[in-house]
Amino acid sequence: MRLTRKIRVHGRVQGVWFRDWTHREAKAFGIDGWVRNRRDGTVEVLAAGEADAVEAMIARLREGPPNARVDRLVIEDSDEIPAPGFTRAATL
């Protein structure tokens, strides 16, 4: 079953290579979607794929890369259908 989630990552998540790390992780899980910085200092992720892969990706986002500090995630269901593959999008 395919699942699409929009995830907002709060904490020290900008300036620590979070988007590059997320890009690599998503590709490893076969996730479609994107990652982008937001002007409010959070990082936003759209993750679409098999339910197990999306849930595993969310678990990885809770940890983040070594130099990040993830305080919390805000997770929502999404109807957005991303293009195949995973990209680093422009800042919103």
Catalytic: 12? no
CA distance 38 to 54: 21
The β-bridge relationship of strands 32-37 and 86-88 is parallel
User: Which among 5, 24, 36, 37 is annotated as catalytic?
Assistant: 37
Which amino acid does the sequence have at 82? P
Catalytic: 67? no
Contact criterion met (CB below 8 Å) for 65 and 5:
no
User: Which among 19, 38, 67, 69 is annotated as catalytic?
Assistant: 19
Closest-CA residue to 2 (of 34, 60, 48, 47):
48
Provide the annotated active-site residues: 19, 37
